[in-house]
Amino acid sequence: MGEYLILGIFLLGSFLVLVAGIGLLRMPDLFLRMSATAKAGTLGTGLMVLGAAIHFNEFAIYTRAIALIAFLFVTAPVAAHMLGRAAYFDGVPLWKGTIQDDLHGHYKLTTHSLEEEMVPEKEQLQMEAESDDFEISE
Amino acid sequence: MIVDILWYFVFAFLGIGFISAFIRLAKGPHLPDRIISLDLISVMAIGFFVAYAVLYNQPSFLDVSIILAIITFLGTVAFAYYLERRV
């Protein structure tokens, strides 16, 4: 009985990781890809660690598994947020079907700070020039 | 018997996920795409170590996955910092 439970948890976890991999490959945009990997990948790996803890059924292994799950669930959103912020400032293009971009025109590229008012046209032009630079360097 | 066969499905799912992440790593149009695919590859490696530890009944591999989780987080944060500052 326990064997089938562990196998079911592992199959579900590895299927979620597979979904994360396919989402990384098929999504049209960096930010959509990031939403696929950060959620599905973390949940799948966390399920597999939980299955391993149930399989070994020792106090030391439970401690390690809880530490690993807590670490994964805390650090994955932090890393995804930092990477998404850096990529947006770097001028990575959004998907062409994006219907709303609340940050557009509201940040200064020179200082990387968000502004409540619209940033003047001159600094936006500078922003586009630098993002063109980014396209060439790729 | 059926349990042994179904265990191979776990590794097959992980392997197909690895392959698609590596394809994105090779062709990702920008640098952040490659960074997130490296991140997903290390998360998949954690899952692979855990599945291997259960299949061959060796709990030592769980320590490897803890270390790998820490290194992955530090690596992704360092890449994001580099991408924002460009220094």
**Residue A10 near residue B10, CB atoms below 8 Å:** yes
d(CA A1, CA A56): 15
Residues A37 and A74 in one domain: yes
The domain that holds A57 is classified in CATH as 1.10.287
pLDDT at A15: 95
Residues A79 and A121 in one domain: no
What ranges in A27-120 are assigned the alpha helix state H?
30-36, 42-56, 59-89
Cβ neighbours, 10 Å, residue A134: 15
Smallest CA–CA distance, residue B17 to chain A, in Å, is: 4
Q: How do the pLDDT tens digits run along chain A, 138 residues long?
A: 788 999 999 999 999 999 999 999 999 999 999 998 999 999 999 999 999 999 999 999 999 999 999 999 999 999 999 999 888 888 788 888 888 887 777 777 666 777 777 766 555 555 555 555 554 444
pLDDT at A137: 45
Residues A48 and A79 in one domain: yes
Note down the domain range covering A116: 102-138
Residues A8 and A70 in one domain: yes
pLDDT at A138: 41
pLDDT at B66 over 70: yes
Residues A67 and A34 in one domain: yes
Give pairs for B61-70: CB < 8 Å, separation 24+: B62/A49, B62/A52, B62/A61, B62/A64, B62/A65, B62/A68, B63/A64, B65/A49, B65/A68, B66/A64, B66/A67, B66/A68, B66/A71, B68/B42, B69/A68, B69/A71, B69/A72, B69/A75, B70/A71
pLDDT at A90: 81
Q: CA angle at residue B4 from B60 to A60, to 5 degrees? A: 25
Query: Cβ contacts (< 8 Å) between B69 and chain A: which residues?
Result: 68, 71-72, 75
Residues A76 and A107 in one domain: no
Residues A64 and A11 in one domain: yes
Residues A44 and A77 in one domain: yes
pLDDT at A121: 56
For chain A, say whether B78 makes contact (Cβ under 8 Å). Answer: no
The domain tally of chain B equals 1
Q: Output the six-digit token pair for B78.
A: 């360092």
The whole-number average pLDDT for the span B62-77 is: 92
Residues A110 and A68 in one domain: no
- Under the banding of pLDDT at 50, 70 and 90, the label for residue B77 is very high
Interval B28-65: pLDDT, tens: 788 999 999 999 999 999 999 999 999 999 999 999 99
For chain A, say whether B70 makes contact (Cβ under 8 Å). Answer: yes
pLDDT at A124: 56
> What is the model's pTM?
0.85
With an 8 Å Cβ cutoff, are B6 and A71 in contact? no
pLDDT at A73: 93
Residue type, A107: Y
Note down the domain range covering B78: 2-85
Residues A32 and A81 in one domain: yes
d(CA B13, CA B72): 21
For chain A, say whether B9 makes contact (Cβ under 8 Å). Answer: yes
d(CA B83, CA B10): 35
With an 8 Å Cβ cutoff, are A17 and B13 in contact? yes
**Cβ pairs A/B, distance under 8 A:** 163
Residues A14 and A61 in one domain: yes
For chain A, say whether B77 makes contact (Cβ under 8 Å). Answer: yes
ipTM score assigned to the predicted complex: 0.91
Q: Output the six-digit token pair for A111.
A: 């200082």
DSSP annotation of A94 reads P
Residues A24 and A78 in one domain: yes
pLDDT at B54: 93
For chain A, say whether B83 makes contact (Cβ under 8 Å). Answer: yes
The domain tally of chain A equals 2
- Under the banding of pLDDT at 50, 70 and 90, the label for residue B87 is low
